[in-house]
């Protein structure tokens, strides 16, 4: 995927976020976008997969490497057992899983509804020598009935994409929360990196049931006299 397209995503959401700082009402949802459609991601990852096959480039790191490092650094401080089960929701190129595997985590799963993303993530993990990481093609909003629950779920940009769905962004958000309740074990952790939603909005969307455990500091910007964050990273604990 080109930097241009990622910028479009970020710019659209960053410009929206200045008004959200003043008004966090959830009715002020984002303009629906093709970035909320499966067709968009299928096409994007088919291109990225081809590039990976051609020149070995893993493709876009959504919101930059720092956004991933920030979460990894926080996880490191928690002294978690290396066999906790971690699910990467909408794994894309699987690079977050590569970083977690490098930290020694052994029980890793990534899901994505784009088959090209799944092939790309498998290829990237294989290339890095982490063949034991489980990658599955799955729609997070329509999970199978027999799924096992995880100790931790991470999301970078997937909830954002789902909430941009032109057909049913509102419904998608509600379904996302319902799925998360199924995927996460009680007291499990959910770490979300979002450029669409402010801290206040995320607290509202994931309440009740998900209690804020930590907000990770992110760069701040000023726009029209209002200060806000370009990216929000929150850690929630699931109080089932
Ligand atoms: C902005 S990209 C982020 C990818 C990855 N998390 C990263 O940080 O590089 C959004 C991802 O969510 C996936 N996605 C969107 N809706 C999904 C759904 N309902 N179920 C599973 N994956 C989904 C897309 O295919 C895409 O890989």
Q: Could you give the angle at the alpha carbon of 204 between the alpha carbons of 201 and 205, nearest 5°?
A: 85
Return the exposure string of 118-138: e unless at least 16 CB atoms fall within 10 Å of the residue's CB, then b: bbbbbbbbeebebeebebeeb
Domain edges within the chain: 3-12+30-238
Q: CA geometry: angle at 32 spanning 30 and 37, to 5°? A: 130
Q: Is 101 helix (H, G, I), strand (E, B) or coil?
A: helix
Q: Which atom of ligand 1 is nearest to the CA of 68?
A: 8
Residue 114 Cα: closest atom of ligand 1: 25
- State if residue 161 touches ligand 1 by the CB under 6 angstroms criterion: yes
**pTM, rounded to two decimals:** 0.88
> Going residue by residue through the chain (240 aa), what tens digit of pLDDT does each one get?
333 334 334 434 433 333 333 233 344 456 677 888 999 999 999 999 999 999 999 998 888 889 999 999 999 999 999 999 999 999 999 999 999 999 999 999 999 999 999 999 999 999 999 999 999 999 999 999 888 899 999 999 999 999 988 777 678 899 999 999 999 999 999 999 999 899 999 999 999 999 999 999 988 766 666 666 689 999 999 998
Q: Give 27-91 as a DSSP string.
A: TSPPPP-GGGSHHHHHHHHHHHHHHHHHH------TT-HHHHHHHHHHHHHTT--TT-EEEEET-
How many Cα neighbours within 13 Å face the side chain of 222? 1
Q: Is the CB of 156 under 6 A from ligand 1?
A: yes
236 lines ligand 1 (CB under 6 A): no
Q: Which CATH number fits domain 3-12+30-238: 1.10.3720.10, 3.40.50.150, 3.30.450.20, 1.20.1250.20?
A: 3.40.50.150
């Amino acid at each position: 995927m080109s930097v241009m397209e990622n910028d479009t995503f970020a710019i659209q959401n960053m410009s929206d976020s200045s008004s959200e700082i003043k008004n966090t009402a959830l009715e002020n949802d984002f303009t629906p976008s093709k970035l909320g459609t499966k067709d968009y991601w299928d096409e994007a990852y088919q291109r990225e997969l081809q590039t990976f096959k051609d020149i070995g480039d893993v493709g876009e790191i959504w919101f930059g490497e720092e956004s991933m490092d920030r979460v990894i650094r926080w996880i490191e401080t928690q002294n978690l057992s290396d066999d906790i089960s971690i699910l990467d929701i909408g794994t894309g190129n699987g690079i977050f899983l590569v970083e977690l595997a490098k930290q020694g985590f052994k029980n890793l799963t990534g899901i994505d509804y784009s088959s090209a993303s799944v092939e790309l993530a498998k290829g990237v993990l294989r290339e890095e020598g982490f063949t034991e990481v489980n990658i599955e093609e799955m729609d997070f909003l329509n999970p199978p009935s027999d799924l096992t629950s995880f100790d931790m779920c991470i999301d970078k940009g997937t909830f954002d994409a789902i909430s941009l769905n032109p057909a049913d962004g509102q419904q998608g958000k509600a379904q996302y929360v319902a799925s998360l309740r199924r995927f996460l074990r009680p007291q499990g952790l959910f770490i979300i990196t979002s450029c669409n939603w402010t801290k206040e909005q995320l607290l509202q969307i994931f309440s009740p049931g998900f209690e804020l455990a930590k907000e990770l500091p992110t760069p701040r910007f000023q726009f029209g006299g209002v200060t806000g964050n370009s990216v929000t990273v929150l850690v929630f604990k699931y109080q089932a």
